[in-house]
């Protein structure tokens, strides 16, 4: 058996020993967006470090724990802090928490990220992810396919659920939130892109760029979750403004949009169809 699968099975057993809770929705909170966890009526928090076999998040602004609880009546689990390829994790390691959330029962995945804007440059813009480009990074599905987790060649024509997108759009409209939409492209990082890379991304059809999300969404679709993705534009992408890029600025910008994004996610989760 492949090493990551051994670790995943170990982590699942370790999690089940510590938490007796079946979430319907898994939520990934991106850079600077971890504050959303405060709107969860918490039942249990579980630091990744207490789960045997689980990699740890090392990035500033990422706490590194699962938060189990309720949003309204809906049982959820939120990842406060995600894992990134640039931390040195393989794609299979990066998606381990996604697979864990699915194995504990989550049928939906709500994934957020901080992103550099190509089509949208205003800081704090929220962008519904309609599709993605993952071809710059390794697939988490490379290697042995375990049929209990999904098929060898999963379809990606609707990586992001139109049904969930429609719910989010209605919520945005009713609450006066200006929700843009577009294609997200993932780079490895950790360095921000060059202006030439951003021109390439734009020519390939990307509206926003970042260092996460697409590998997670691939794993989520593989295992059968329905996905809603939202980017928070924290800066114009490289070369599209006079300034330079920094992680501190990204976190600060994400803080500004946090409340709006929180409302959007909360209301959308409450309206998700029963599964
Ligand atoms: N590039 C990549 N990742 C990012 C950016 C960016 O400009 N902003 C926030 N995350």
Enumerate the domain spans of the chain.
3-270
Cα 167 to ligand 1 centre (Å): 27
Q: 239: which residues sit within 8 A by CB, 6+ positions away?
A: 194, 195, 196, 198, 199
Residue-wise pLDDT tens digits, 76-85: 999 998 999 9
- Active-site choice (113, 161, 231, 235): 235
CA of 154 to the centre of ligand 1 (A): 28
Q: Is the CB of 233 under 6 A from ligand 1?
A: no
- Protein residue with least CA distance to atom 5, ligand 1: 116
76 Cβ closer than 6 Å to some ligand 1 atom: no
Helix, strand counts (H, E) of the chain? 7, 9
Distance 38 CA to ligand 1 centre (A): 25
| The pLDDT value given to residue 142 | 97
pLDDT band at residue 32 under the 50/70/90 scheme: confident
Q: How far is the CA of 115 from the centre of ligand 1 (A)?
A: 4
Question: What is the distance between the alpha carbons of residues 163 and 238, in angstroms, rounded to a whole number?
Answer: 33
The torsion angles phi and psi of 201, rounded to 5 degrees, stand at -60, -45
pLDDT tens digits, one per residue of 121-176: 999 999 999 999 999 999 999 999 999 999 999 999 999 999 999 999 999 999 99
- 12-21, 84-93, 249-258: the lowest-pLDDT one: 249-258
Please tell me which of 80-89, 194-203, 246-255 the model is most confident about, judged by mean pLDDT.
Answer: 194-203
Task: Report CA-CA distances (Å) from 203 to 166, 208, 257, 259.
Answer: 27, 12, 28, 32
Ligand 1 atom nearest the C-alpha of 245 is: 7
Atom of ligand 1 nearest to the CA of 238: 7
Distance CA 226, CA 160 (A): 7
Q: Are 261 and 161 in contact (CB under 8 A)?
A: no
Is pLDDT above 80 for 270?
A: yes
Does residue 231 have an active-site annotation? no
CATH class label, 3-270: alpha beta
């Amino acid at each position: 058996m492949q090493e990551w699968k051994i670790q995943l099975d170990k982590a699942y057993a370790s999690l089940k020993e510590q938490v007796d809770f079946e979430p319907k929705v898994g939520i990934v909170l991106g850079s600077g967006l971890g504050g959303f966890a405060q709107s969860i009526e918490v039942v249990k928090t579980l630091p990744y470090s207490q789960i045997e076999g689980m990699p740890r998040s090392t990035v500033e602004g990422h706490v590194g724990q699962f938060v189990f609880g309720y949003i309204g009546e809906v049982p959820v689990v939120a990842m406060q802090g995600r894992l990134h390829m640039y931390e040195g994790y393989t794609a299979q390691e990066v998606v381990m928490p996604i697979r864990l959330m699915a194995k504990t029962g989550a049928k939906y995945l709500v994934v957020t990220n901080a992103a550099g804007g190509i089509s949208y440059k205003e800081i704090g813009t929220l962008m519904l992810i309609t599709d993605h480009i993952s071809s710059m990074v390794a697939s988490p599905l490379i290697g042995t396919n375990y049929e209990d987790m999904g098929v060898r060649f999963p379809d990606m024509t609707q990586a992001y659920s139109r049904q969930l997108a429609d719910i989010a759009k209605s919520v945005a409209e009713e609450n006066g939130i200006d929700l843009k939409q577009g294609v997200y492209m993932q780079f490895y990082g950790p360095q921000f892109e060059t202006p030439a890379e951003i021109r390439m991304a734009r020519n390939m059809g990307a509206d926003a760029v970042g260092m996460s999300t697409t590998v997670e969404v691939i794993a989520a679709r593989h295992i059968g979750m329905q996905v809603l993705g939202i980017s928070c534009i924290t800066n114009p992408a490289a070369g599209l403004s006079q300034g330079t890029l920094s992680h501190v600025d990204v976190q600060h910008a994400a803080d500004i949009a946090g409340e709006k994004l929180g409302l959007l996610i909360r209301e959308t989760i409450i309206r998700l169809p029963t599964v």
